[in-house]
Structure 1
Amino acid sequence: MKSNREIIIAFNTAFDNSNSYDIAKFIADHFEWHLLGDSVIKGKENVLQFFADHPDMRVITVTKDHIIVDGDSASVAGEVQCTDKTGQIYDMYYCDVYELANGLITKMISYTVNKKK
């Protein structure tokens, strides 16, 4: 069985590549993704549908400046450059906070801040 740190790192790799097949391996059926200030996506199927509905959203570059794991909680922070469904490029700082149970991610809270130009 993978450690929580290994799960978080593998999940982030899958997430950064919009790899729904691998994302599904690491999240619970009742997974919740809180995009603070925007929306909450509840349920594994709805998260996978989000990626299916947004095929043009892509990560261009990403750093993982901090990976912290403490028991069944974790966070990953860094900088990301990505495109939205219209192709517009966003440069942001991010921090994702995770809750895990029984080897699966049950909750992800995403904090993002646009970089000033």
Structure 2
Amino acid sequence: MNKKLVRACESFSEGNVETMVDFISPEVEWNIVGEKTITGLEDLLQFCEEMAEAGCPEFHNTHTTVSVSQIVVEGSEQKENGVFYCDSYTIAKGKIAEIRSYGIMPQSD
């Protein structure tokens, strides 16, 4: 697996879109599980821009798993009771074809 592609996925999971634009398929599908599905690079970039304007949280990756056609990045939001996340990237023809994002709120005591 291309190390730059892995780093781009890790960077995107932490909220940095610019580093991965060259690695995204124009027909990408981003499924934010339980919320919405975004189709196409243009719509993905628009959504990320809106998130950034709203004040994107600070995320920190804790684990990355890489296989032949999949990169999975896990981490958490850097604040008390912040969300835990898992982003699964499907790679096809050297590009990110699909992103599936899961977010879990921690249980309160």
Query: Shorter-chain-normalised TM-score: which range?
Result: 0.7 to 0.9
- 1:59 maps to 57
Map 1:28-39; keep pairs closer than 5 Å: 28-39=25-36
Give 1:73's match in structure 2, choosing from 70, 73, 86. Answer: 70
What amino acid is aligned across from residue 95 of structure 1 in structure 2?
Answer: C
Cα deviations by residue, 1:4-45 (Å, 9 ceiling, x for unpaired): x431322332452444x3332121000011000011000000
Q: 1:38 to 1:90 in 2, by over 3 A?
A: farther
Task: State the shift of 1:53 in Å.
Answer: 2.3
What amino acid is aligned across from residue 84 of structure 2 in structure 1?
Answer: Y
Give the superposed CA RMSD.
2.3
Q: 1:90 to 1:32 in 2, by over 3 A?
A: farther
- 2:99 maps to 108
Task: State the shift of 1:101 in Å.
Answer: 1.4
- Partners of 1:29 and 1:70 in 2: CA distance: 22
- 2:87 maps to 96
- Partners of 2:100 and 2:9 in 1: CA distance: 14
- The structure with the greater share of residues assigned to strand is 1
- Partners of 2:13 and 2:104 in 1: CA distance: 19
Matched residue count: 107
- 1:85 maps to none
SS in 1 for 2:82: strand
CA contact (8 A) 1:15 1:23 kept: no
Q: 1:52 to 1:97 in 2, by over 3 A?
A: same
Q: 1:17 to 1:38 in 2, by over 3 A?
A: closer
- Partners of 1:35 and 1:25 in 2: CA distance: 21
- 1:86 maps to none
CA contact (8 A) 2:29 2:99 kept: yes
Q: Share of identical aligned residues, percent?
A: 24
Could you state the TM-score of these two structures normalised by the residue count of structure 1? 0.77
- Partners of 1:26 and 1:11 in 2: CA distance: 9
